[in-house]
Structure 1
Amino acid sequence: MAEHIKTIEGGLNARGLRFGIVASRFNDFIVDRLLGAAVDTLLEHGADAADITVVRVPGAYETPLAIRKMAASGSYDALVAVGCVIRGATPHFDYVAGEATSGVASVSLEHGIAIGFGILTVNTIEQAIERAGSKAGNKGADAAIAAIRMASVLRELER
């Protein structure tokens, strides 16, 4: 009986898909590594450089607005958000991280678009470095993979 179950899990072929990436400028020494990995991953999986648009915003808090504008344009098959929020001595971290996360999620649901989430929310600079290309991998690349897979899943679901 299991052989008759249809399974949709999305592929990793980015050929012909249009991607938008929103990258924050704050903590750019980390974000630039996330952004580079996201772009490289999209290209490695078949995306054309001409089909990738990068938008730089001041910080993670501004990311949802740019993501929303891009989603509403209808010009993209998937979006990727990359940024880095490092905990400090005040509650500011909680507000920025929470609003960036919920804002990006609400855009995905509102517009029905795949969004790879690569905004780091970490306690220390060391944790950020680990997630931007050292022992914990690169979360920018992971977000790009998620965007490709979800764009593929959504296309399958629309058939």
Structure 2
Amino acid sequence: MTLSVQRIGSTLRRAGIAMAVLLAAAPLAACSDEGKLVLHSATGDYNFNVEVVDTPESRAQGLMYRQELADDTGMLFDFKGEQPVSFWMRNTFIPLDMIFVDAKGVVKNIHVNARPHDPTGIPSDGPVQFVLEIPGGRSVEIGLKPGDTMEHDRVGAPAAN
């Protein structure tokens, strides 16, 4: 009888430890990875590692003063709702492609190779929620066109205030 009580106790302890591990890991599994983004074009699916900026301060800073940007990286600006936006390249040292995207993830327009230090405004062609900045010329390399789509955890998600 003692042996079976010990066996049951040991089994319960192992089950308890396993449950604790699962419960601790559950919130991590539920968390999304906002640093990942996919652009879908006629030539394929292209993964990017992105930095998400969604406050007035972080959007104002953007990619200013950066000296380089790898081919598979970028910055995703989230305006938390659709609106007309305009960007410039003041204090930006590298050419960038600006991809203007609506709340559903549809690419509305693309500005290719924005010139470093140019203070001229680069507007969206209508309301957008997102602007993705990637290295200059990269959108041409991957064949991205208006009407293509962007996949990211924030696309289609309710706007957080």
TM-score range, shorter chain: 0.3 to 0.5
Q: What is the TM-score when the length of structure 2 is the normalising length?
A: 0.32
Higher helix share: 1
Question: Which is bigger in relative contact order (C-alpha 8 A, separation at least 6)?
Answer: 1
Q: What is the TM-score when the length of structure 1 is the normalising length?
A: 0.32
Higher strand share: 2
* Pair member with larger Rg: 2
